[in-house]
Structure 1
Amino acid sequence: MNESGTSPDRIVPLADLPALLALHGAALWLERGDAAPEHVSQATVALSARARAPLLVHGPACARRLRTDRFAAFDLLELYAFVRPASFCLPTAKGLAEALGLAVPTHHDAAAEIRLLHESARLLLGELRALNRQRRRVIGLAWAMARAGWAWAPLVLAALDFRRDDGKPAPGIGVWDDLPEWADGAPPPEPGHQPVQAEETRRRLAELTGAHAEQRAAQADFSAGLVPAFTPRAEEGAPQVVLAEAGTGVGKTLGYIAPASLWAERNQGPVWISTYTRHLQHQIDQELDRLYPNPAQKAQKVVIRKGRENYLCLLNLAEMGAQLSTRPVDAVGFGLAARWVMATRDGDMVGGDFPGWLPDLIGPGRSLSLADRRGECIYAACPHYTRCFIERSVRRAKKAEIVIANHALVMIQAALNGGAEQSEEQRLPTRYVFDEGHHLFSATDSAFAAHLTGQEMTDLRRWLLGAEGGRSSRARGLKRRLDDLLLDDAEMPQLVEDVLAAAKLLAGEGWQQRVIDGQPLGAGERFLLAVRHQVLARSASPRSGYSLECATAPLEDAVALAAVTLERGLKQLTQPMLALAARLMRRLDEEADSLDSAQRQRLDALARGLVRRADGEAGAWRHMLAALTAPMAEDEREQTFVDWFGLERSDGRELDLGMYRHFLDPTLPFAETVMKPAHGIVVTSATLTDGSGSELAWAGAEARAGTVHLPLPAYRLRVPSPFDYARQTRVIIVTDLDKDDMAQVAAAYRTLFLAARGGALGLFTAIQRLREVHRRIAPALEQAGLNLLAQHVDAMDNATLIDIFRGDRDACLLGTDAVRDGVDVPGDALRLIVFDRVPWPRPDLLHRARKQAFGGTAYEDQLTRLKLKQAFGRLIRRADDRGVFVLLDKAMPSRLLSAFPAEITVERIGLKDAIAGVRAFLGPA
């Protein structure tokens, strides 16, 4: 039986199911498919839904909107994911109906939308009846889900015409057995060094844009200006770098694809195009359809690369399937993931064709557990190795012409594979294009930082020990990953035992509560307890519920003692880890005549993983701890690192705790590991400089990109936006508002959003401010027929929220930095941006150190101008866009106004006039 009271054999007619559309604080309820919908209260809908499971779209989001616990339901997104795996749809009643080809209301009409639910279900079940391909496998998955009580199972099995009354066994669920196998080939040769010329770049661009497209001179100039990065370098360690600022609307993606594709074809080597966001990776992939219109050819020439943690692990999926009899709660998640595996292009679970809303339905933890997020891969020892999505992607990338990666992967790969003795397997690309170049500093900051925290120690402990204490987990420890390699080796078993014994000094599962209670286990947790005491003691508001931090010096005696003990323990851990890695590498030499390619790759990967964690992770921790008690000279330390202690909290709950180390200038290691080994690099963005137009603006861009650490100066290229901003936009600063009075701030958002009749993006500098505004304005916008979406409020990931916003002309979206950076909404679906206050950098210890090192107030102003420029850049994406940018902060300094285009006259007016101005400028709906 399932939660809704049905069984696999009892079918509730579709027309008899009620339907539910959640509103803010209330709901619309449709008792039957042929009934009239009625508005009901939260309390009523909670009782009704528990009595009769309703049809709805996105159960977690509905429950959150109704402020209730999740309840049993016939979630149409689950049915859609089962029937149309790896297919896109917006997770709303309208979005689902549009994907199915139904007529939908153009404006928000709750009564019309709820009637779409029964018809959507009918169409999806009809598609199942017509299903022929892999029908038996689909039946097997549906039956496994039925046995666990999936609400849709009776209707799905009936549509598939399946009954368990023939005495035959149910079909199998091993979708991994149906996947094609990859095969290794000879490694590609080193790429050539033939240059690309400006005129041929212009011709290639014209081919990409099409013969009938309007030829944009600015785009052609931009493309030709990148040519120096695709010419041979003259000296080792001195790449040809072009810093290229291309204003919004120039068309920089096709602009850099033109020379990049020419170079790749001519020199038989890959160009790596790197972005900051996964969303842009897939936008670039779509643009490459112009270059490779034949899908088969494109599959050979273009590869999207991400970190291993983004891809589904077939072994994890198989192990989840094997445990369904003891863990039926996983059955729905397993079944929907398995259906996706049957249809996915490349196994990419984050930003690929895995629906962004699916983790919300099956549970984020369950979804995360299907990927190799802890580095537990057993490589060639895995029975699914030759079908592995990750291994297939790695091999395709070696032969591709264009590899679409992200900044984090590029830096990790360079740090791991760099050095003088690169093998063919480890060879780094010689040409990079870094799109979203304004994020390089932030990406390098994250990539080269070291955090000695409870969460990081727990992750390393799990990687070494696997699941502990009889917990139900698929975590694979070091012993299991080595497994068969230990059988005929005299040295390795003892080394493994030494590693596992020493690993117990690290913080383990449940460390947070033990530290709070003052009952630490092991040297790692004792260090965390001492750090927590120092952080709380030095905080002005230790009980505030917000994250806290403090300088490491002066150091409390208890912290010093715990640091010395932990450093010694880490030494005892890293020594056998490195000895074990050396033994694995020795076997590569000793058994060279008997190891096949897969075995060699497995030994090499295991050895490199041990070294990475022993030297790169635990080794960094040892240096950090040593610096606490025997620090280097103060001036030397300040020029290299910034160290501090921190206690991370969210909504008053303690999440992590420990010591943090960041490079004062993280572009130093970036220049050494990524830029200097390369031959040519393009760094491009619409916001490389802060808009001030001064020499300091370019100097700041060069510092943030790391080119100041190279022997040759970077080429500078700026191509302005073709838009007529004076005609298309207005910028307003509201002067009669107290930005710290949330009632006034919320009233401003409400009235401005209503004046624009939706199509509004609200940006915030703090999550708490966003939530408070959402709470205050949601009912009024709902009443006006405007759909209000909010990051940190709605139970959806950011990409899904943006997709819904883009697809609903009159929706409104509230978000912080992550939403601002991910929004690309051409047309009038985005016609108003409201920013709550000047986005000054958070004055934490790291920013204070960098401000002092990089120019004081001028540095702080640059960062703030860049955030304003980036936010404004979301507004106008096409020549026919119109929009208004409003800042609710009368304290906006005039020196920051250069963040906006020079042709715009910024107006400082009261809220009443701002509302009238928005209404007048945007005109009638």
Structure 2
Amino acid sequence: MMQRYVVVDLETTGNSPKKGDRIIQFAGVVIENDQIVDEYSTYIHPGQEISLFIEELTGISNETVKNAPDFEDVAENIARLIEGACFVAHNVLFDLSFLQEELVRCGFEPFYGSTLDTVELAKILKPTSDGYKLHQLAKEENLDHSRPHQADSDAYATALLLLELKKKLMNLPVMTLKQLYRLSYSLQSEISELIDACIASKLAKAEVHSPDLITYRGLAFKKAEDESEQKDTGAEFPLDDEKKIAMLQSAYPAFEARSGQLDMMNMIHHSFESSQDAIIEAGTGIGKSIGYLLPAVYFSKKHHKPVVVSTYTLQLQDQLLQNEVPKLKKILPFTFQAVLLKGRSNYLSLAKFERALREKEDNYETALTKMQILVWLTETVTGDKDELNLTSGGQLFWNRLQSDGLTYAGLKQPWLELDFFERAKRTAAKADIIITNHSFLMTDLLTEDALIPKKGYLILDEAHHLEQAASKQLGSRLNYISVKTVLNRLGTSDQKQLLYKLGRMLLNNGLADGKSTHELDQKLSDFSYEFEQLFYYISNQAEKLSRSMSPKRLSFKIDDGRWGKAILVAERLVDLLGYIITELEKRLALLLNNESPLGKNSLFHLNDIEVLLGHLQDTRDSLHEFFIKPHEENIYWLDYTNAAPQHGVTLTVQPIAGSKRLWDSYFGRQKSVVMTSATLVVKDSFKYFKEQLGLENEPMQTASIPSPFPYKELVKVLVPNDLPDINCLSVEEFSETAANHIIAAAQAAKGRMMVLFTSHEMLRATYHSIKDSGVLDEFTLFAQGISGGSRMRLLRNFQNFEKAVLFGTTSLWEGVDIPGEDLSCLIIVRLPFSPPDEPVTAAKCQLLEKQGRNPFSAYSLPEALLRFRQGFGRLIRTPEDKGILVILDRRIITAKYGPEFQKAIPEVDWHQASIAEMAEMIEKWI
């Protein structure tokens, strides 16, 4: 094993040495024989000014380096330090390239030795980490990292991280190490040398096999937990609230009884026992999750029937299993089993992964993903993709590995016992609580061979999303890239893709027909060309329309004359697909019905073709519905971005009343359905919620349980009185005006502020107005859709910076839990009415007009009130929180419907103030 590593970190004036940026601090930590033996660090005078941003980031100012040596003065020491060592850094390409520039500039030879990137190594050995920034990994591994963005602290933390990663590598079985070694030559740093040394070290002594691992067909796995059924407990739900409180306090002595939580438990128990349906609004802070899980477990145990808990977001689904279920296991006097169940495509197919490992793959991201999965297999018992932190390329590669359930009678199933989805099904069949999501639940209910009991007991959390989830599930989407991906995977008979392999199989079995093969090639070529033309034409039409309509989403009216050409092309495409699908089905049938047995690889190829065939059939059905025979009860629209002509278009269809259809066919047949959320009530009534689901005439128990928080003591609401009416200005004009108030609020609150918008257009305009002004340069600004990264990454980054402002749209209006001082000020820029030309809104409003109802009062206003309540709910998450809400839309004061918004949230003090008064009030309150 390499004996000497030098772990390096640099702080610099910028990101590009070629543009004149310079090093301001160098640190190196020397490791020999797995021990830190030396450290060297120095500030360096860059010969230029250090920007305020770099000073804020690193703590290194112009004053700090005033008397520091120039790089020329320390270059020899640095060159001597790294000579003959393995150069290690967290993102090695950045540190090494910067250092190389400076060494060469000073007349020294560049470094030619081995390199090791701890980012790359961490991705492989910690495939489930939330992120790979140094501070995230240091926190996960509990490493000393007291001064992030200081080179000496960063280098030391990276050295400790390297030692931990080496230990992890040494703990992997030789079988896994050998597979990692084979793939490691596609990596960017010399990780292969480290793996090779680990293999040699382990082979030099007898390997001790971990009792937690099993090996099969050349792969090492974590041993699954016992799937045996739980013993009968004879559990009786404690009807007496005092008994429930005593049980909760025995597990958590600091637990404070919440009457709302107890009421919720009792109501759900009664609903299940009496086979009734219920709607429960549970305010923030009542303990909703335990409120429904506890009675669900008691019911399941007593009656030996599983209770299904479904959420809208995967985040809450995971949170229930990882956080709430362990709490409940501590509370209850008996054991129970709760399992997570997701759609099949979330699970790894071991058969596909085994085949992929045999393929020679030099693509960097594919090799990296294979290595991540090899390590992950020694840790996971679920095979659930959501555990992994994959790159974008890794996500694409996963599509080739996901479980699809297709099997052929002639193909042995060596992985069936270990198959992750099959294991999830077996576990779910024995579980007391099945935790799933609305998307999978609705998909499963629509299948004949459903995993969820057809007449069972359901708890639907985040129920305000039921209608949206149902419409999405019963709808479909068609875009250029997905179809072209299918065509590329299929190929033609001379491209050595799946169609070529199909032709070879037919030839080898004496079943080939040269004429029909040529015709199929021609039809595929025609289809590909016509499909490109269709989407090119649609994008051109969308470009013209977007000049007068929303630039992102456009209604798609099939009977409109401008789409006549698209309809003609779509008709030709449907005919071409009919021929292609029929010919592929014939070829598959010839091979499967042939007397000669097919080899394993041939059957795998047929499996892949059958999957693609399913995609082609979906494409044909979508084209037919969009362009040839649209249904009156559906909404059609296109999403358009001008990033690329064809790539920027997605066609979408959804039913106007999807949830009603699902309820009548499936949910309504369940023994008992409990729907819950923190925001279901509009104007003290469940009428709007029931109407959206088509449940106006369904008998249901209902309860609205208020939050226990004393909001009047925790929140003030400010409405500036020096802002113009939002409807009197353009987006750009109002954004500039709003920017001044946001700047003033940010300075008064010292960051810790979230700004909610109703459109990306206004968010971008306001963000850039503030950014360009330079007034908030000392603040860190994060903007959804601009700053990059997922929603969760944005939230984590926002919480990691002291003076931070987060600009968000749709998905940040709800499901954001930032307790304490991290979020002290919330700004709502505009009352959250949906744009009237938004396709779903427009269709619903047209339907209401046909029914003789007022679309504004029956739909637009209730929808906005619910969204407003959700936005308000971001501010106070615990009884200790304190915050201020600023509303920049004066219609909440001046419009007829303004009082409805004021009454939609708990009773708090409202104030109107000028920009100066607003800033003063914020400073005093928080």
Offset, 1:435: 0.8
Q: Which runs of 5+ in 2 are unaligned?
A: 29-40, 58-70, 72-78, 98-113, 210-214, 594-599, 849-853
Q: Distance in 2 between matches of 1:616 and 1:686?
A: 37
- Which of 416, 435, 446 is residue 415 of structure 1 equivalent to? 446
Matches within 5 A, 1:716-865: 716-737=702-723, 740=731, 741=733, 742-775=735-768, 777=770, 786-806=779-799, 811-842=804-835, 843-854=837-848, 855-858=854-857, 859-865=859-865
Within the candidate set 261, 266, 274, 1:224 is matched to 266
> Does 2:171 align with 1:133?
yes
Mapped to 2, the partners of 1:27 and 1:771 lie a distance apart of 32
SS in structure 1 at match of 2:905: coil
Q: Give how far 1:153 is off.
A: 2.1
CA contact (8 A) 1:183 1:386 kept: no
Of residues 120, 129, 143, the one that matches 2:181 is: 143
Q: Matches of residues 416-565 of structure 1 in structure 2 within 5 Å?
A: 416-417=447-448, 427-428=453-454, 430-455=456-481, 457-458=483-484, 461=487, 466=490, 504=524, 508=528, 521-522=529-530, 524-529=531-536, 531-532=538-539, 534-536=541-543, 540-541=547-548, 546-556=552-562, 557-565=564-572
User: Please, which moves more after superposition, 276-285 or 841-850?
Assistant: 841-850
- Give the match for residue 912 of structure 2: 908
3-state SS, counterpart of residue 35 of structure 1: strand
**Residue type at the aligned position of 1:846:** V
1:592-629 Cα offsets, whole Å, 9 max, x none, are xxxxxx9xxx999999979976887644543444426x
Equivalent position of 2:695 in the other structure: 707
| Counterparts of 1:750 and 1:100, CA distance in 2 | 38
Whether the aligned pair in 1 keeps the contact of 2:527 and 2:576 (CA below 8 Å) is: no
Match of 1:666 among 634, 644, 658: 658
Secondary structure of the structure 1 residue equivalent to 2:901: helix
Measured after TM superposition, the shift of residue 700 of structure 1 is 0.7
The residue number in structure 2 matching 1:199 is 239
Contact 2:174/2:199 (<8 A) preserved: no
Q: Which residue of 1 aligns with 2:398?
A: 370
Structure 1 residue 683 corresponds to structure 2 residue 675 = yes
Cα pair 2:784 2:807 within 8 Å, conserved: yes
Which range moves more in the overlay, 861-870 or 318-327? 318-327
Matched length? 819
Show the counterpart of 2:923: 919
Measure how far apart 1:661 and its partner are.
2.5
Partners of 2:536 and 2:124 lie apart in 1 by 47
Secondary structure of the 2:884 match is strand
Using the TM superposition, give the Cα deviation of residue 850 of structure 1 relative to its aligned residue in structure 2, in angstroms.
0.4
Give the structure 2 partner of residue 279 of structure 1: 315
Partner of 1:36: 43
For the pair shown, the structure with the greater C-alpha radius of gyration is: 2
Cα deviation 1:505-558 (Å, max 9, x = unaligned): 8965xxxxxxxxxxxx14x4454455445545555449x964444422233542
Contact 2:524 2:580 in 1 (8 A): no
Distance 1:100 1:246, change over 3 A: same
Give the partner amino acid of 2:677. Answer: S
- The runs of 5 or more residues in structure 1 that have no matched partner are 1-7, 64-71, 234-239, 509-520, 588-597, 629-636
Q: Secondary structure at the match of 1:812?
A: strand
Q: What are the within-5 Å matches in structure 2 for residues 208-223 of structure 1?
A: 208=248, 210=250, 212=253, 213-223=255-265
Q: For residue 856 of structure 2, what is the amino acid of its counterpart?
A: T
Superposed displacement of residue 135, structure 1: 5.0
Partners in 2 of 1:913 and 1:27 — Cα distance?
45
Distance 1:560 1:317, change over 3 A: closer
Q: CA deviation at 1:379?
A: 4.7
What residue in structure 2 maps to residue 237 of structure 1?
Answer: none
CA RMSD of aligned residues (A): 5.3
**Separation in 1, partners of 2:914, 2:126:** 51
- Distance in 2, matches of 1:486 and 1:427, equals 47
Distance 1:176 1:444, change over 3 A: farther
Q: How far apart are the structure 1 equivalents of 2:453 and 2:519?
A: 31
- The change in CA–CA distance for 1:535 and 1:653 in structure 2 (over 3 A counts) is closer
| 1:872 alignment partner in structure 2 | 872
Percent of aligned positions that are identical: 20
Distance in 2 between residues matched to 1:164 and 1:93, nearest whole Å: 29
Counterpart of 2:881 in structure 1: which amino acid? D
Q: What residue number does 2:140 align with?
A: 99
Q: Say if 1:502 and 1:569, in contact at 8 Å, map to a contact too.
A: no
2:104 corresponds to: none
Which residue does 1:591 correspond to in 2? none
Provide the rounded CA distance (Å) in 1 between the counterparts of 2:313 and 2:782: 21
Mark the CA change 1:880 to 1:580 in structure 2 (over 3 Å): closer, same or farther: farther
Could you tell me how far apart the structure 1 residues matched to 2:519 and 2:304 are?
44
Residue 761 and residue 79 in structure 1: after superposition, are their counterparts in 2 closer, same or farther (change >3 A)? Answer: farther
Q: Aligned partners of 1:336, 1:727: CA distance in 2, in Å?
A: 50
Question: Given residue 767 of structure 1, which amino acid in structure 2 is its aligned partner?
Answer: H
Determine the C-alpha separation between the residues in 1 that align with 2:553 and 2:93: 31
Query: Which residue of 2 is the match for residue 116 of structure 1?
Result: 153
Q: How many angstroms apart in 2 are the aligned matches of 1:840 and 1:440?
A: 19
Q: For the residues of structure 2 that align with 1:320 and 1:581, how far apart are their CA atoms?
A: 23
Residues 201 and 467 of structure 1, relative CA distance in 2, 3 Å threshold? farther
Displacement of 1:880 after TM fit? 0.8
Distance 1:774 1:151, change over 3 A: farther
Higher RCO (Cα < 8 Å, 6 or more apart): 1
Question: For 1:918, what is the secondary structure of its paired residue?
Answer: helix
Residue 887 of structure 2 is matched in structure 1 by 887
**Is the CA contact 2:570–2:627 (under 8 Å) kept in the aligned structure 1?**
yes
Q: Is the CA contact 1:760–1:831 (under 8 Å) kept in the aligned structure 2?
A: yes
Q: Paired residue for 1:266, among 302, 324, 327?
A: 302
Task: Look up the match of 1:289.
Answer: 326
- 1:307 to 2:340 alignment: no
Q: Is the 8 A contact 1:774 1:790 kept in 2?
A: yes
CA separation of 1:135 and 1:567: change in aligned 2, threshold 3 A: closer
| Contact 1:264–1:270 (CA under 8 A) maintained in structure 2 | yes
Given that 1:539 and 1:550 are in contact with CA atoms closer than 8 Å, whether structure 2 keeps it comes out as: no
Alignment partners' CA distance in 2, 1:22 and 1:100:
29
- For the Cα contact (< 8 Å) 2:743–2:775, is it kept in 1? no
Aligned to 2:105: none
CA distance in 2, matches of 1:403, 1:273: 6
Q: Which amino acid aligns with 2:748?
A: A
Instruction: Name the CA shift for 1:165/1:301 in 2 (closer, same or farther; >3 Å).
Output: closer
CA distance in 1, matches of 2:250, 2:13: 45
Structure 1 residues 373 and 660, CA, compared in 2 at 3 Å: closer, same or farther?
farther
Q: Contact (CA 8 Å) 2:711, 2:907: kept in 1 or not?
A: yes
- Which TM-score applies when normalising by structure 1? 0.75
- TM-score, with structure 2 as normaliser: 0.75
Alpha-carbon shift at residue 874 of structure 1 (Å): 1.2
Q: Give CA deviations for 1:623-678 in whole Å, capped at 9, x if unaligned.
A: 444426xxxxxxxx54x22234x252155765343654321112122213431232
**Other-structure match for 1:595:** none
Amino acid of the structure 1 residue aligned with 2:185: R
AA in 2 matched with 1:407: H
Residue 67 of structure 1 corresponds to which residue in structure 2?
Answer: none
Contact 1:834–1:888 under 8 Å retained in 2: yes
